Amino acid sequence: MVERVTARFGTLVFDRDAIVRAALRAYVEGCLEGIARVGFPAIDQAGWTGDLQRGTLRHDNGSGDYEVVAWTEAGVVGLAYQLGCGPIEQLGLSLDAVTGGPDDVRGAVPGLPAELEPAFVMAVDRLDVGPEHGERWAGVGFWLHGDRVGGTLFAVRDPSLAHGAVRLAAWGLIHNGRLLPLSCESYRPRPGMIVTAFVDPKAAPSHAVMDAVTDRTLRGPTEFTPAELETLLLPTPKPERVLAIQRGLQKVGITWPGSPEIPEPQA
């Protein structure tokens, strides 16, 4: 665990296991949006690859901004992009230096330890590519390795490096195992503020179910119990929506009662 004090976000606390747990919890919550008794999910457009040892989570806001966190046993790398603020605009990448690969955004993670290169490459693989110049799109980043942390996220005193930083700061503001929802983007986030303000007390039982399932998944594949689904789900969700959610959750080892394998859709 590493603490860093920033001018814009206050104290950020980065912990590899906490980040992976929060990524899993946010992915579960995002998958269940629309059929569960919850509101204001931490993530509502998320893509997961890999597993809890080596994996990635990409979170899009639907308007062109996104962040990617990638983890291995060695630590975590995070990269973020805000529309119009890629490596050419924000990191000083020259057009003749564009490769379409990791070196396009290496300036976002200065001092990256060699042990984190695999995580960095995994994160870069999830980045969009600019249609005009072919550069990978990220403008700010962080890395976490043991008790060391670095990246341009911590240079937010410089406004030219701040674009997209709030998306990464959320991973240093994890509260009670939950990622800070990015509805806070318009103001200064603080630990717990969004979780406290935006969780409807009536949704507490559903959040308790998601917490329990997340914690079981950290120990291995698990399955919702019928009682958990009764607590969690809204009445009569559309079957096709449920099936899509089942497929998404199966990627992280969570299944429905009696459905250890969810068939993929036919081509």
How does pLDDT run across 166-215, given as a tens digit for each residue?
Answer: 889 889 988 888 887 654 444 444 544 444 445 567 888 999 999 999 99
Stretch (H or E) spanning 55: strand 55-60
**Which pLDDT does position 63 carry in this prediction?**
86
Low-confidence residues of the chain: pLDDT under 70: 40, 156-161, 181-200, 260-267
**Which pLDDT does position 51 carry in this prediction?**
95
Strand partners, 180: none
In the DSSP assignment, the letter for residue 163 is T
**Which pLDDT does position 81 carry in this prediction?**
95
**Which pLDDT does position 45 carry in this prediction?**
79
- Per the CB < 8 A criterion, the answer to whether 183 and 33 are in contact is no
Q: Global pTM?
A: 0.88
Q: Are strands 46-50 and 10-14 parallel, antiparallel or unpaired?
A: unpaired
